[in-house]
Amino acid sequence: MPAADPSPRDRVAARLDAYKDRLLELSHQLHDDPETSFGETRAAERLAVLLEDAGFAVHRAVCGLPTALTAEYGSGDLTVGVCAEYDALPEIGHACGHNIICAAGAGAAIALAAVADELGFRVKLLGTPAEEEGGGKVLMLERGAFDDVTVAMMVHPAPVDITDPRGSSNAVARFGITFTGRASHAAAAPEGGLNAADAAVVAQVAVGQLRQQLRDGYRVAGIVRLGGERTNIIPERTTLEYEVRTPTGEELGELRERVLNCFRGAALATGTTVEVRPIQPDYLDLRQDAALMASYARNLRATGREVPEPGPVPQGTGGSTDMGNVTRAMPGIHPGLGVLGALGMPHTRQFAEEVASPAGDDAVLDGALAMAWTGLDLASDATWRARCVTARHG
C-alpha cells in the first residue's frame, strides 16, 4: 500500500528542518557580530541572502531605510506577515535576543513557503531595523510596507514562554533635551556665565520630585549625554536623553508634558534656553489578537513545550516595542518565547550569553515552527481567513 502524502503540517516542519543549520548559523552570526539601530548592514544582508536562496523575492533598503528589507513568496488574498528584528544594544550586544527573533522569523517564513502555493496565500517577511531605538516598524508602517499584510507575527525571547493574549507592553516616548547657556571662566568670572549644567541638575531634581506623584505603571528614565567640557569653564551646553512610559498610548501625552515642564522650568530658573527634539516615533502598547495567540499557543505546545495556561491576572511587561503600533493597525501577536532555563533577564549580560546557548537554538526552531503552523492554521480555515482578509483589506 503506497505511503500517504505528507500533510501540510509535516511539509512545513520538513522545510524548517531542511534549513535548520542555516537558521542557527544566522542566529550565531548575528550574536557574534552585533550592530546597533540603523547600522545593521551585515545582519540585513545575511538575512536577505538566506531568503533569496530560499526562493523569496527580496527588496533591500525599503522605505528609505538602508537596513530595512522585505521578502515575499506566493500569491493570494491573504498575506501572512512575519517581522524580523536584528538590532543589538550598545555595549551589551544581543542582550534582548534579536538574533533569535531574526532567525525564528526567517525560519517561519521559509517553512510557510512550503505550502503557500498549494493554499493560495502570500508570505511576507519584513526585516525591521532599530527596534531598540528608532522605531523601524513605525516608519515602515507609515511608509506603506505593511499595507498588503493581513496579519503580522513575531516572537520575542524571554526566560519563559508567554502566550496570554492579554499581555501587553508599555507605550514609550523618547526625546533629547539641550540646554544652552553662556560660557565663562569658572574661577575668574563665574558671574558672567549661564550654567547649562545647573539647568540639567535642576531638571533632574524636578523629575525626581515628580515621580512621587505619578500613577502606578508610569515610568521616567534618562541619561546625561553631555554635562560640560572642562571644570574651569562654566558649561554653555548640556544634552540629556529621556523617556516616559505609560500602560497605554492614550496616556503618553499627559506624562510627557509633565516631564517636559520640568525641563522648561529648569531653563527658566537658570536663565538658559531649552530645546526638545523627539528621538523616535512614539511606541504604542501591544494589542494582541486572541485567535492568533490561541493558535500560536497550541502550536508551541505541539513542539513539545509545556506552555503555561494564562493566569487570572493579565501578563504585562515593563518593556516597550514598535510592534505595538503594528498591532494597532492589523491583527498581530508578539508572544514571549522562552529561552528555557535562562537565569538572566533581557538587557543583561547574562541573557546576552544565554540567547546563543543550546536553549537559545531550541527557541529559534520552536518559535519558527509554532509561527509557521499558526500561519498555516489561518490559511487553511476558510472562515477565519475570510474574516481577517475582509477586516484588513475590505
Q: Please give the C-alpha separations between residue 189 and each of 16, 80, 195, 294, 364, in angstroms, as whole numbers.
A: 71, 66, 12, 69, 62
What Cα–Cα distance (Å) separates residue 194 from each residue in 86, 178, 203, 240, 318?
43, 14, 15, 17, 38
Answer whether 244's CB lies under 8 Å from 252's CB. Answer: yes
Predicted pLDDT at 1: 53
| CB contact set of 159 (below 8 Å; sequence gap of 6+) | 338, 339, 342, 343, 344, 345, 351
Degrees, nearest 5: CA angle 263-279-240: 40
Task: Note the pLDDT tens digit of each residue in 157-194.
Answer: 999 999 999 999 999 999 999 999 999 999 999 999 99
pLDDT of residue 309: 84
* Residue pLDDT, tens place only, 17-52: 999 999 999 999 999 999 999 999 999 999 999 999
Average pLDDT rounded to a whole number, residues 91-110: 98
pLDDT confidence of residue 104: 98
- Residues above pLDDT 90, as percent of the chain: 95
Inform me whether the pLDDT recorded for 292 exceeds 90.
Answer: yes
Q: Which residues are CB-contacts of 269 (< 8 A; sequence separation ≥ 6)?
A: 199, 202
What confidence tier does 122 reach under pLDDT thresholds 50, 70, 90? very high
Helix (H, G, I), strand (E, B) or coil at 193: coil
Q: What is the pLDDT of residue 308?
A: 86
Superfamily designation of domain 8-169+284-393: Zn peptidases (3.40.630.10)
Contact between 347 and 355 (Cβ < 8 Å): no
Instruction: Please state the length of the chain.
Output: 394
Mean pLDDT of the chain: 96
Mean pLDDT value across residues 120-124: 98
Helices 98-119 and 41-53: angle between axes, nearest 10 degrees: 30
Q: Which three cell numbers stand for residue 371?
A: 509561527
The C-alpha cell 530658573 sits at 269
Kindly tell me if the per-residue pLDDT of 392 is higher than 90.
yes
Share of the chain above pLDDT 70, in %: 98
Convert the pLDDT of each residue in 344-356 to its tens digit. Answer: 999 999 999 999 9
- Mean pLDDT value of segment 218-227: 97
Domain chopping of the chain, boundaries: 8-169+284-393, 171-278
What lies within 8 Å, CB to CB, of 242 at 6+ separation is: 174, 175, 176, 177, 207, 220, 221, 222, 259
Fold (CATH) for 171-278: Alpha-Beta Plaits (3.30.70)
